[in-house]
């Protein structure tokens, strides 16, 4: 029997905002979220800022500890077997996040060493992978601070690819990119699935992107997973024509609606 790539059961995460000198006000970033992702699947989770998407990604990346529930990656407990899980997972987030004075090649070397790649391997692999993501060879030695946002995101993709993850967590990887860079990132995501048999969890608020790339689409709203189904099933269930309309019917709000104070607080943490 095949073990699911991701199994999340009743996962809870609460953050606290200080209130006065000793008081603390809790805000649930994730509220008993359960989901399963099969190996090789691409699942997109939609949601506004502060809906809990990044919290879910951070929990699966071993960067947060939960307040309840459990999560497994290829059968391994994310919180008790974190070191094994870290070998299987990598992540690309909205911020490219590099040492800005170091070059693309130096930043990739640093990341690769933590995954056990020796200098002889990185000398061979880094140029190959940078070429694959369309990064010009002539700029490998240039400091990251001199690269455009699109170029930096290519290096972020190369960093993820370098460690051969079997589960790729993508947290708004195309937010803020120009249309061409966005297209390149989306092509890369398709390639990762087709060539590397990678399982992908894509968190985004771009509904079109979710529809184009994912086998199933979920909606996370104020920490609760309202649905996780193929797009056609979502549209049927809510008797609407677009995911945006489905969001409106499911939540009673539009994506652009003004946020409450509680939403603003949640956005800071989740």
Partner 1 sequence: MSSTSAAGDVTQAFTRRRVVRDELIGLYGVVERNVYLTKRYLLWDLAFLLWTVANTLTIVFIARGVGVGAAERNALETKLLVGGVIWAFLGIIFEIVTETVAWERWEGTIEYTFMAPVSRPVHLIGMGVYAVLYGLVRAAAVFAAVVAFIGIHVPHANYGAALALLAIASISFIGVGMMTAVLPLVSPEKGTQLGFVAQGLMLVVSGVYYPVSVLPGWMQWVAKVSPATYALRGNRRQILSGAGLAWADVWPLLVIGAVSIPLGLAVFKAGERYAKKRGKLKRSG
Query: Does 64 interact with partner 1 (rule: CB under 8 A)?
Result: yes
Q: What angle do CA 21, 24, 27 make, to 5 degrees?
A: 150
Query: Does 15 interact with partner 1 (rule: CB under 8 A)?
Result: yes
Rounded distance between C-alpha atoms, residue 166 and residue 75, angstroms: 13
Nearer to partner 1, 45 or 108 (CB): 108
Q: Which of 11, 30, 50, 58 binds partner 1 (CB under 8 A)?
A: 58
Query: Does 56 interact with partner 1 (rule: CB under 8 A)?
Result: no
Please state the closest distance from residue 93 (CB atom) to partner 1, in A: 8
Q: Which of 61, 153, 181, 204 binds partner 1 (CB under 8 A)?
A: 61
Nearer to partner 1, 86 or 182 (CB): 86
Taking alpha carbons only, the member of 71, 88, 84, 69 closest to residue 36 is 71
Distances in whole angstroms, Cα of residue 73 to Cα of each of 21, 59, 121, 207: 40, 11, 27, 26
Please state the closest distance from residue 195 (CB atom) to partner 1, in A: 16
Rounded distance between C-alpha atoms, residue 178 and residue 176, angstroms: 7
Q: Which residues of 26-37 are buried (b: 16+ CB within 10 A; e: fewer)?
A: ebbbbbebebeb
Please state the closest distance from residue 209 (CB atom) to partner 1, in A: 23
Size of the site for partner 1 (CB under 8 A): 49
Q: Which of 77, 215, 244, 245 binds partner 1 (CB under 8 A)?
A: 77
Applying the rule CB under 8 A, the residues between 150 and 179 that interact with partner 1 are 159, 166
Contact 41, 5 (CB under 8 A): yes
Query: Does 2 interact with partner 1 (rule: CB under 8 A)?
Result: yes
Look-up of token digits 């199994």: 7
Contact 266, 31 (CB under 8 A): no
Applying the rule CB under 8 A, the residues between 97 and 136 that interact with partner 1 are 97-102, 106, 109-118
Please state the closest distance from residue 8 (CB atom) to partner 1, in A: 15
Tokens of 237: 């269930």
176 phi and psi, to 5 degrees? 80, 5
Rounded distance between C-alpha atoms, residue 99 and residue 157, angstroms: 16
Query: Does 87 interact with partner 1 (rule: CB under 8 A)?
Result: yes
Can you give the binding site for partner 1, defined by CB under 8 A? Answer: 1-3, 15-16, 39, 54-55, 58, 61-65, 72, 74-77, 83-84, 86-89, 91, 93, 95, 97-102, 106, 109-118, 143, 159, 166, 269
């Amino acid at each position: 029997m095949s073990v699911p790539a991701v199994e999340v059961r009743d996962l809870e995460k609460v953050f606290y905002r200080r209130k006065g000198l000793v008081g603390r006000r809790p805000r649930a970033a994730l509220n008993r979220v359960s989901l399963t992702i099969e190996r090789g699947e691409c699942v997109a989770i939609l949601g506004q800022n502060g809906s809990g998407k990044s919290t879910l990604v951070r929990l699966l990346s071993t960067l947060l500890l939960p307040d309840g529930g459990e999560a497994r990656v290829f059968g391994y407990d994310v919180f008790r077997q974190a070191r094994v899980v870290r070998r299987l997972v990598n992540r690309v987030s909205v911020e490219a996040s590099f040492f800005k004075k170091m070059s693309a090649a130096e930043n990739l070397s640093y990341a690769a060493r933590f995954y056990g790649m020796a200098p002889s391997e990185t000398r061979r692999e880094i140029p190959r992978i940078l070429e694959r993501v369309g990064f010009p060879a002539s700029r490998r030695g240039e400091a990251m601070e001199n690269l455009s946002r699109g170029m930096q995101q290519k290096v972020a993709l190369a960093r993820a690819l370098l460690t051969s993850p079997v589960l790729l967590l993508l947290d708004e990887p195309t937010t803020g990119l120009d249309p061409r860079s966005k297209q390149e990132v989306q092509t890369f995501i398709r390639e990762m699935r087709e060539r590397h048999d990678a399982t992908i969890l894509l968190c985004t608020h771009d509904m079109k992107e979710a529809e184009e790339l994912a086998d199933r689409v979920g909606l996370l709203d104020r920490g609760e997973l309202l649905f996780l189904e193929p797009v056609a099933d979502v549209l049927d269930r809510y008797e609407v024509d677009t995911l945006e309309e489905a969001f409106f019917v499911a939540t009673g709000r539009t994506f652009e609606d003004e946020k409450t104070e509680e939403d603003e607080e949640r956005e800071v943490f989740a």
